[in-house]
Amino acid sequence: MLNNIKLILFDLDGVLINSKQNMHLSWNAVLKKHKLKISFTKYFSNIGIPFKKILQKLGINKMLHNSIELTYSKNSIKYLSKIKLYPNTKKIINSLKKKGIKIGVVTSKDRKRTLKLVKKFRLNIKHISCPNSKLRGKPYPDQLLNILKKEKIKAKEAIYVGDMKVDYHAAHSAKVSFIFASYGYGKKFLLYKYIISDLNNLLKYI
């Protein structure tokens, strides 16, 4: 059990939503338009960090980053219907809110697409944090720390639920408890003390 929890922050992709098909279609559009030969598997193995950081890790010319991001974003919005909410997501969020726990999303996705998804699924979430010029993306703890500061909540009173190693590192750096969503896109590691195989399992830790 994690006691006296006042704030739970969620990663988005692989935790609240299943967006793999959307990513695949969007990446294929990038490959076609920009004449690249980088498999979706290779791209997907890097998700969790900001998009341009992924492009950098893939060795793509920096001069192309803005146009590739635009292509990817446009197609991600085009294929929005391919994104599905994981079962009972709304129910779990509402149950947590009834307990007086504040809810937030900390994602590497850009703000425009994140807001579209929150609106699409009618998620009742107070804080939505995306990387920007002032807040570095994961694995840095900036986004988590910013929400803690806004809510005047101590790190020991917060949880971050994620499915990737970068999520763990961000939580660890922020000194926030981390819960690994094993149903998501990442692999299980010994570092993870708390693990859920379904979003419903989250309630057993609160």
Q: Are 113 and 91 in contact (CB under 8 A)?
A: no
- Residue 86 is given by DSSP the state P
For β-strands 177-181 and 102-106, DSSP reports them as unpaired
Average of per-residue pLDDT values in the chain: 95
Dist CA 14 CA 167 (whole Å): 11
Could you read off the pLDDT of 67-93 as tens digits, one per residue?
A: 999 999 999 999 999 999 999 999 999
**pLDDT tier, 183 (very low <50, low <70, confident <90, very high otherwise):** very high
**pLDDT tier, 21 (very low <50, low <70, confident <90, very high otherwise):** very high
List domains and CATH numbers for the chain.
Answer: 7-18+83-205 (3.40.50.1000), 20-81 (1.10.150)
Is the confidence at residue 52, as pLDDT, over 80?
yes
Could you read off the pLDDT of 118-141 as tens digits, one per residue?
A: 999 999 898 999 999 999 999 999
Edge-to-edge strand list for the sheet holding 102-106: 127-129, 102-106, 7-10, 158-162, 177-181, 194-196
